[in-house]
Structure 1
Amino acid sequence: MAAAGGGLPRPRQMAGPDGPWDPVRQDLAGTGTALVYGVLTQWSVHLREPERLREVLGRDWPRYQRIGHARAKERFLASRLLLRRTAAEVIGTTPDQVDLAYEPGGRPYVRGCDQIDVSLSHTQDVLVVGVTRRGRIGVDVELADRRMAGTASEAQGFTPYEREALDADAAERRNDLLVRLWTLKEAYSKARGQGLRFRFTEFGFALDGEQARLVRPDGGPVADGSAWTFGTVALEGRFVVSVAVFDAGFGSGSDLSVQTVLDEGLLEALLNSSGRS
């Protein structure tokens, strides 16, 4: 599989919690970012024991209980297990020790580990997780053959610059380009912590082969555009995955052991609660 572009690593398939995880850690050490994907049935099968669900899901347990649809419940469970396992592997701990929390808009983060950022996306039976130590990350996965050309999404979700570029391209490529642009927009808005609250007509992308560049609605440059890296890759022959990474200038340090990434204030609280100085 080709790399995601822009210096980002390719997504690595994990068939289950046993990995192997060394390539993921190597991607993170080498590029500052790692991408992982799994298949729903391969991950949901690992948590059939009801007594373990609450332990592994942590603060996600009440939300999991409220989900009524069986398929949605299975996807929620598998996606959180993949996200927790990935975070645990890169910081050197166990999934039940990963405190997964959410920003007001629903964006996940690992509480107490501010040196990594995570993102999660899923569709159909594919789950995708992104991790970065560079700043912020957003990932999005979509069916490659999702119909967007000639729909309300095309009319309402793209900028004048993007529509002009689409009109100038080959008609047979239009839907493929729309899906790619849409997943890039989703990934970028997730990295920004905005989700669908961020109007997709307020920003756009200029596509140049494998590269994508953030632009204003009229195609002009964006002030902080150079700090962003974008990539898109085909997955399993059926899906498109896009990634957005913001480089906050944290440097190239690669020590992500739990002792290093644990927030100093949280570490102090934990030590005090255990009676240690």
Structure 2
Amino acid sequence: MFDPTLYPTLQDAVHLYIIQPSQHTDPKEVQGYLSLLSEQERERHQRYKFDKHKHQFVLTRALIRRTLSSYMDLSPKDWRFDQNEYGRPEIAESLGLPPLRFNVSHTDGYIVCALTKELDIGVDVEGTLRVKEPMSIADRFFSPHEIQCLHDLPEEQRRHRFFQYWTLGEAYIKAKGMGLALPLAQFTFHLSTPPITISFGPEIDDNPSDWQFEQLAISDAHLLAIALKRGGRKNLPIIYHTTFP
């Protein structure tokens, strides 16, 4: 599983793994993934009421562990994780490994995991059909500029634009490692012309030029966004993987 040639590539690229749970249902395969989980993860797995959610949880945790073990010479079973004060998982410092950053997201139908060498990264994937009234959510939580842009669009275009804003916002918040402690209304995405850019309200001390944003429709009903704090570097390419590592 470990490939010593992979880790150096993270210096100049983001690796993104995109998995469909429906393609990983063989009982022996799933049992093998379950065996990789820690005791605490297995306890969490048992607390899920529905089989679909249990399956998604096992694949998500196994994807993280197997992905990391592709870049570092450590067994998938041996990874340990800490959480920051807002609950974002990080590789435990006690492992004493070189810098490696990851972020994971899942929705009905997809699990994604993004990996970099040492840069702050966030990823979000959403099913674009799951929200009945997207404008009511936007009016409550988005920035004034984003709300106005949504209302200026024809009604048939609003749902897609809503999820563009939503996934980008979630990815940025996750890259910052602050969760919902960072309200969506305090920053604004600008999508009229590429590349995607961000601006900040006075509450946020951040530099828009430090950030790279990418967005991808991975199906007709799923949208994915990546936020990467690459500082003064040029934009990094995204390398996509669609098989379990």
Q: Is 2:80–2:92's contact at 8 Å kept on the other side of the alignment?
A: yes
**Correspondence for 1:120:** 104
Q: Is 1:161–1:217's contact at 8 Å kept on the other side of the alignment?
A: no
Matches of 2:91 and 2:25 in 1, distance apart? 21
3-state SS of paired residue (1:182): helix
What percentage of residue pairs aligned between the two structures are identical?
A: 25
Which deviates the most, 237-246 or 66-75?
A: 66-75
Question: What TM-score, normalized to structure 1?
Answer: 0.71
What is the aligned-residue RMSD (CA, Å)?
Answer: 3.1
**Correspondence for 1:94:** 75
Comparing both chains, which one has the higher relative contact order based on Cα–Cα distances under 8 Å and sequence gaps of 6 or more? 2
Matches of 1:148 and 1:47 in 2, distance apart? 33
**Correspondence for 1:261:** none
Q: 1:63 to 1:77 in 2, by over 3 A?
A: same
Letter in 1 for 2:61: R
Offset at residue 224 of structure 1 (A): 1.3
**Correspondence for 2:89:** 108
Q: 1:230 to 1:82 in 2, by over 3 A?
A: same
| Aligned pairs, number | 228
Q: 1:53 to 1:174 in 2, by over 3 A?
A: closer
Aligned counterpart in structure 2 of residue 227 of structure 1, from 210, 227, 231: 210
**Correspondence for 1:179:** 163
Which deviates the most, 185-194 or 67-76?
A: 67-76
Q: Is 1:206–1:213's contact at 8 Å kept on the other side of the alignment?
A: yes
3-state SS of paired residue (2:87): coil
Letter in 1 for 2:230: D
Matches of 1:238 and 1:24 in 2, distance apart? 31
Matches of 1:118 and 1:61 in 2, distance apart? 21
Letter in 2 for 1:121: S
Offset at residue 99 of structure 1 (A): 1.7
Determine which structure has more spread, i.e. the larger CA radius of gyration.
Answer: 1
Matches of 2:219 and 2:72 in 1, distance apart? 28
Mapping for residues 148-227 of structure 1, pairs under 5 Å: 151-217=135-201, 223-227=206-210
Q: Which runs of 5+ in 1 are unaligned?
A: 1-17, 252-277
